[in-house]
């Protein structure tokens, strides 16, 4: 199974209407990005990989976390392969210097990113947020990620994700 699966991919820059507005505005940072339309009901990773014959080892999930220390609140995006789980409570919490950390509530994540829940992607996130990319993602070659909406996916060269200005590559996956 490949990352591309059985989908028809189009250069993302030629199909901006298939992306959430913040993703469309930032897609130029990821020149390899291609987009494919999917059934929004199949946007969740396991269903997507099965339906479209896309390898989970080349599919990356992006989650928004919120950390707090004292009166300060910090947000970050965490990108990890679908086959792995991110060490949110230890590695991510320490990295963003938070005392407490959790997944951002759905409505908050949607409002702050301008993206649909289940389609959140590291491309086009608020500039101040760190984008923590697991080293497994960075070394995966082509990966499928969200497009900001549930009705499409992006296929990108993972190395380009590490060049997003706020991106940092870390060992995030639990072993």
Per-run averaged pLDDT (10 residues), the chain, 175 residues: 89 97 96 96 92 94 94 95 93 94 95 95 94 95 96 96 92 81
> Are 173 and 86 within 8 A, CB to CB?
yes
Please work out, in degrees rounded to the nearest 5, the angle formed at the alpha carbon of residue 148 by the alpha carbons of 146 and 89.
65
pLDDT in the model for residue 175: 61
pLDDT at 88: 92
Whole-number pLDDT of residue 68: 94
Output the CATH code of domain 10-170.
Answer: 3.90.960.10
Taking Cα atoms as reference points, which of 119, 164, 160, 124 lies closest to residue 141? 160
Ranges of each domain in the chain: 10-170
pLDDT of residue 56: 92
Q: What is the pLDDT of residue 174?
A: 80
pLDDT in the model for residue 173 = 87
Asked if residues 168 and 131 have their Cβ atoms less than 8 Å apart, the reply is yes
pTM, 2 dp: 0.93
């Amino acid at each position: 199974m490949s990352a591309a699966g059985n989908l028809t991919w189009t250069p993302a820059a030629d199909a901006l209407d298939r992306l959430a507005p913040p993703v469309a505005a930032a897609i130029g940072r990821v020149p390899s990005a291609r987009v494919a339309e999917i059934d929004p009901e199949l946007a969740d990773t396991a269903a997507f990989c099965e339906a479209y014959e896309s390898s989970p080892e080349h599919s990356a999930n992006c989650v928004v976390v919120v950390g707090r220390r004292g009166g300060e609140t910090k947000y970050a995006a965490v990108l990890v392969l679908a086959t792995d789980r991110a060490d949110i409570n230890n590695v991510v919490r320490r990295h963003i210097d938070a005392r407490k950390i959790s997944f951002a509530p759905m409505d908050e994540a949607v409002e702050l990113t301008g993206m649909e829940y289940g389609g959140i992607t590291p491309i086009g996130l608020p500039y101040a947020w760190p984008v923590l990319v697991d080293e497994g993602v960075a070394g995966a070659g082509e990966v499928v990620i969200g497009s900001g909406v549930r009705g499409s996916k992006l296929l990108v060269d993972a190395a380009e994700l590490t060049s997003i200005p706020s991106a940092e590559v870390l060992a995030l996956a639990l072993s």
